[in-house]
């Protein structure tokens, strides 16, 4: 029980909740689109069952992700993916990714749509949560993931509109979220088995596994995402520019 009272545990919980808020905003949109044609009496059921199925599927995916991250070089690949996701968060593309979400007037058809759409959209979320859970140490990573997801469910489903308004009013939240992903990417990369095990992959530079190294890597990852994200955002044409071109 004492392991659940450590600062590392609660820091990881906070990271998972923030990741779900930042990267899970689309979930509320998908749920609303898929369930919009259901009769009012079934709409709440569709939302609840669709959300439950999507969360269960995500927990299963994260379990495999946590297992796979023990394979050499996969953490490095995951770190690069998180940097890319963080950059996309800071410099989003101007398109409508939800136009293909079909609504249904049948309860289980709508639930299936929610689950399938969430599966397609969950790669970034799964990798980010798996990376955050790594920082909590072995032994209770999956309980941590499940706890973080359960806490974030009401925030995503019922509080999504409030969160979106806060993000619009305070863009610093998006910036901090992107930098958080960069932090997780940096700390994940320096714990890859290929840079930890001195007896294997001798051609790969080894790093001492100290808090100082992890902090430096985390800060470096956060600043890297911020710098690339701002650079991409400045070079990307504004929506009105493309409309008048």
pLDDT at residue 226, as a whole number: 94
Size of the chain, expressed as the number of residues it contains: 245
pLDDT at 245: 47
Q: Which two tokens stand for residue 155?
A: 């925030």
Phi/psi zone of residue 141: left (φ > 0), alpha (ψ -120 to 50 degrees), beta?
A: alpha
Report pLDDT for 208: 87
Digit-coded pLDDT (tens) for 185-212: 898 888 888 888 777 778 888 888 888 9
pLDDT digits (tens, 9 = 90+) for 79-90: 888 888 888 878
pLDDT on residue 144: 73
- The per-residue pLDDT for 238 is 65
pLDDT 10s digit of each residue in the chain, 245 long?
555 567 777 777 788 877 777 766 666 666 666 776 778 777 777 777 877 787 788 788 878 877 777 788 888 888 888 888 888 878 776 555 555 555 566 777 777 776 776 666 666 677 777 777 776 655 557 777 777 777 766 666 665 556 666 777 888 888 888 888 899 889 888 888 888 877 777 888 888 888 899 899 999 999 999 999 999 888 877 655 544 54
The DSSP 8-state label assigned to residue 190 in this structure reads: T
* CB 181, CB 187: distance < 8 Å: no
| pLDDT for position 164 | 60
Nearest one of 116, 82, 108, 38 to 192, comparing CA atoms: 82
Q: What is the pLDDT of residues 124-153, one digit of tens each?
A: 677 777 777 776 655 557 777 777 777 766
pLDDT at 142: 75
Q: Own/partner pairs for 166-174, CB < 8 Å, 24+ apart?
A: 173/22, 174/22, 174/89, 174/90
What pLDDT was estimated at residue 162?
64
Provide Rg for the chain, Cα atoms: 19
- CA 48 from centroid of its chain's CA atoms: 21
Angle between helices 211-235 and 74-90 (to 10 degrees): 40
Measured distance CA(140)–CA(238) in Å, rounded: 45
- What burial letters (b/e) apply to 185-201, b meaning 16+ CB within 10 Å? bbbbbbbbbbbbeeeeb
């Amino acid at each position: 029980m004492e392991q659940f009272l450590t600062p590392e545990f609660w820091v990881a919980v906070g990271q998972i909740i923030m990741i779900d808020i930042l990267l899970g905003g689309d979930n509320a949109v998908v749920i609303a689109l898929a369930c919009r044609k259901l009769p009012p009496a079934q709409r709440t059921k569709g939302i609840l069952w669709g959300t439950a199925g999507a969360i269960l599927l995500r927990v299963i995916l994260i379990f495999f992700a946590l297992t796979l991250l023990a394979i050499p070089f996969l953490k490095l690949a995951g770190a690069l993916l998180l940097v890319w996701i963080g950059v996309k968060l800071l410099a989003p593309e101007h398109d409508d990714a939800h136009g293909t979400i079909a609504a249904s007037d049948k309860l289980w058809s709508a639930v299936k749509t929610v689950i399938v759409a969430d599966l397609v959209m969950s790669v970034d979320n799964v990798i980010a949560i798996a990376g955050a859970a790594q920082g909590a140490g072995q032994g209770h990573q999956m309980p941590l993931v499940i706890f973080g997801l359960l806490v974030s469910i009401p925030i995503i489903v019922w509080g999504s509109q409030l969160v979106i308004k806060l993000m619009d009013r305070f863009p610093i939240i998006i910036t901090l979220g992107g930098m958080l992903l960069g932090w997780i990417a940096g700390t994940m990369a320096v714990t890859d088995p290929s840079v930890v095990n001195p007896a294997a992959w001798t051609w790969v530079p080894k790093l001492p596994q100290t808090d100082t190294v992890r902090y430096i890597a985390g800060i470096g990852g956060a600043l890297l995402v911020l710098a690339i994200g701002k650079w991409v955002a400045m070079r990307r044409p504004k929506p009105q520019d493309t409309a008048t071109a």
